[in-house]
Amino acid sequence: MTVQVAVDFGTSSTCVVVSIHGRDPQVVVIDGQPLMSSAVYAAADGTLFVGQEAERQAAMDPSRYEPNPKRRIDEGELLLGDSVLRVTDVVHAVLARAVSEARRLAGNAEVDLLVLTHPADWGAVRTRLLRQAAGGLAREVTLVPEPVAAAVFHAATFAPAQLNQERTVELSNRPGESLAVLDLGGGTVDVSVVSRAGGGRRGFQVLATLGDPSFGGADVDQALLEHVGGLVSSADPAAWRELVEGRELADRRRRRVLRQDVRGAKETLSRHAYTDVPMPPPFADAHVTREDLEKLIAAPLSRAVELTRAAIEEAGLRPAQLSAIFLVGGSSRIPMISRLVHERTGVVPTTLDQPETVVARGALLAVRGERERPAPPGPPARTPAPPRIGEQQTKIVRGPAAPRPAFPAGPPNRPPAGYGSTAGPAAGAGQRR
Ligand SMILES: Nc1ncnc2c1ncn2[C@@H]1O[C@H](COP(=O)(O)OP(=O)(O)OP(=O)(O)O)[C@@H](O)[C@H]1O
Ligand SMILES: [Mg+2]
């Protein structure tokens, strides 16, 4: 039996896809969901809980909980409660859970190939760490940049020259054809322009990448939470401060539930014009509207769209020259983002069902396409080896990051901005780690 697994290790969620015996990749359902939380919880006895289990355990002692380990990738070690853990071990635990769930569907057979996705701007240091974290999980490990995987998935979904109903996607499958991928996930905005490398149906290379490491779904939650504070805190300002800043276990537990409810309210506002956030006493429940949310996030979403325009320009293209702009990542469900992309680029963007699973689903296809591609002509000794998919980036520019608002209710170990310790107003600018 041949077992190939792809894991998209995201800031807030991890998506796992398996292909058995060369059959079509299928998303692995974990704890009843197509996405596994990327969270970890370090219990006092040394057990590392992962995913929804970690989220449940977080109620016991939130200081032992890290919801976004990917954001801590540069830190070397994490302090969870009184346990000091190596970041590679923490990431390994998340990947190991993901792989074991995929193996369950394959009768626990060994994994022949594990494909891991990573942001296009990750350089040698972070990608090496990711590889190390996957140690022992498969016979072979390979890496694919997230936007390449997303582009491959879309290319496989839209047959050549097939138009969708809004006539927004017209893929020629010809070498040089370019697409933009705007990935709005849990922790970052990543926009990449990719072009078809030629040869096979599936090979893409990244022409330009820009990103904002200081904005993602978690920051939308944050903005909405502060808005809710503005609505209800006047009833008892001291109680509100305790709720959002208090170090006591009871405060942390109440805060955790509130954060979950706020995130749920945000997601509801992508489908409904209003919703309510249940509040702990002494506060009244908060009524929030999509209009409120749009005002709160208009500036960062505009920045994301400006980054998209800038990445297209970096790639030496105009929006009209692209075959499509694809939206991926869970936060791309926010309706305002498609509207802004259309207004500012003139291109109606395309989103597929379950935009948070697109990267993992494309990753296996990308690797297959790469392996199926015919070898370049010419004697091997004089022909440069085709780039490995994980090394295809040709131009990586990190966009300026807006300062992440300091919010005291965040998990105690979370850095204020960016990935890990490179935080700051220009976190990661010009650097590839
Ligand atoms: N209906 C929705 N409306 C708004 N946001 C949503 C919706 N559904 C999911 N999200 C948000 O999408 C985010 C998770 O998206 P995704 O799984 O793509 O991120 P990730 O891959 O973990 O992060 P990253 O790509 O930044 O590393 C969460 O913040 C979640 O609240
Ligand atoms: Mg993602």
For ligand 1, atom 1, the nearest C-alpha belongs to: 267
For ligand 1, atom 20, the nearest C-alpha belongs to: 10
**119 C-alpha to center of ligand 2: Å?**
8
Predicted confidence (pLDDT) per residue in 105-159, tens digit: 999 999 999 999 999 889 999 999 999 999 999 999 999 999 999 988 888 887 5
122 in the same domain as 1: yes
Which of 138, 160, 181 is the endpoint of a domain? 138
Which of 264, 296, 328 is the endpoint of a domain? 296
**186 C-alpha to center of ligand 1: Å?**
4
Predicted confidence (pLDDT) per residue in 224-239, tens digit: 999 999 999 999 999 9
Exposure string over 284-314, b if 16+ CB within 10 A, otherwise e: eebebebebbeebbeebbebbbbbbbbbbeb
Distance CA 108, CA 90 (A): 23
Average pLDDT over every residue of 78-105? 96
Task: Collapse the DSSP code of 19 into the 3-class scheme (helix H, G, I; strand E, B; otherwise coil) and give the result.
Answer: strand
Pairing of β 113-118 and β 140-145: parallel
Query: Which residues make Cβ contacts (< 8 Å) with residue 426, sequence separation at least 6?
Result: 400, 401
**210 C-alpha to center of ligand 2: Å?**
15
Helices (H), 80-205: 87-104, 124-133, 146-157
**267 C-alpha to center of ligand 1: Å?**
9
Distance CA 5, CA 7 (A): 7
Work out which ligand 1 atom sits closest to the CA atom of 15: 17
For ligand 1, atom 4, the nearest C-alpha belongs to: 267
pLDDT of residue 372: 56
| Burial (Cβ within 10 Å: 0-12, 13-18, ≥19) of residue 137 | buried
For ligand 1, atom 5, the nearest C-alpha belongs to: 331
247 in the same domain as 127: no
Work out which ligand 1 atom sits closest to the CA atom of 328: 18
Q: Structural domain tally of the chain?
A: 2
Query: Which residues make Cβ contacts (< 8 Å) with residue 211, sequence separation at least 6?
Result: 119, 120, 121, 188, 189, 190, 191, 307, 398, 399, 428
Given a cut of 50, is residue 85 above it in pLDDT?
yes
12 in the same domain as 131: yes
Given a cut of 90, is residue 75 above it in pLDDT?
yes
Domain membership of residue 184 (yes or no) is: no
CATH, residue 53: 3.30.420.40
Domain membership of residue 380 (yes or no) is: no
Full residue range of the structural domain in which residue 232 is found? 217-296
pLDDT of residue 249: 85
Domain membership of residue 281 (yes or no) is: yes
* Per-residue tokens: 307: 């980054």
The overall average pLDDT reported for the chain is 83
For ligand 1, atom 9, the nearest C-alpha belongs to: 330
226 in the same domain as 133: no
* Per-residue tokens: 188: 């970052």
Domain membership of residue 186 (yes or no) is: no
CATH, residue 281: 3.90.640.10
Given a cut of 60, is residue 421 above it in pLDDT?
no
